[in-house]
Amino acid sequence: MQLTSDSGNIIPEIAQPKLNKPELQLGSNGEAVEELQQLLTNLGIYAGKIDGVFEEITQESVKQFQRQVFLPEDGIVDNNTWQALYTGAPVNLPELKKGSQGELVMKVQRILKSTQDYIGYVDGEFGAITESAVQGWQVRNNLPDTGIIDEATWRTLSQIPQYM
């Protein structure tokens, strides 16, 4: 995913080292699926059997986790999903600030609307109202009130329950 910065430039995805884990999806099975199910269980997201079989309940748990950490909700466990599972937090996300735009800004606006910090339209435009909402969230969560969504702010935002 790419976002447009306030200067109109494209913000590239941040490169992270690749874990040596297989890509998993519906129909996968084996030890890596057991590990996945255990990680999701430890995070309180998966309540099924740890049996190494990637069925619908595992897929839905993966999607729920992906939603929580701002990844595409495709139910496929790729490198970014593995990294987020190991850290229990969002990974590889760009810094968002006034002037940023796109789907991630819309997700942030929706989340901050659910906490009643954001009162504007969910339009994907990181303007003054979004910046103010982020600052309010940061103050309430003992973060520097920069109005910029950095790694620490992404982490706290990922703790808010998100529903489809």
Q: What is the pLDDT of residue 6?
A: 43
Per-residue pLDDT band for 30 (boundaries 50, 70, 90) equals very high
Name the residue with tokens 């970014």: 80
Rounded distance between C-alpha atoms, residue 114 and residue 111, angstroms: 5
Q: How many CA atoms lie within 13 A of 59 on its CB side?
A: 11
The gap between the terminal CA atoms of the chain, to the nearest Å, is 20
The answer on pLDDT for 126 being more than 60 is yes
The answer on pLDDT for 138 being more than 80 is yes
Angle between helices 56-68 and 79-87 (to 10 degrees): 70
- pLDDT per residue as tens digits for the range 67-121: 999 999 999 999 999 999 999 899 999 999 999 999 999 999 999 999 999 999 9
Q: What is the pLDDT of residue 163?
A: 62
Angle between helices 31-42 and 56-68 (to 10 degrees): 50
Q: Which domains are seen in the chain, by residue range? A: 31-87 (1.10.101.10), 103-157 (no CATH)
Q: Which residues contact 16 (CB under 8 A, 6 or more apart)?
A: 79, 80, 83, 91, 92
Amino acid at 70: F
**Residue closest to 67 by CA, chosen among 40, 107, 124, 28:** 107
Q: What is the pLDDT of residue 161?
A: 79
- pLDDT per residue as tens digits for the range 40-73: 999 999 999 999 999 999 999 999 999 999 999 9
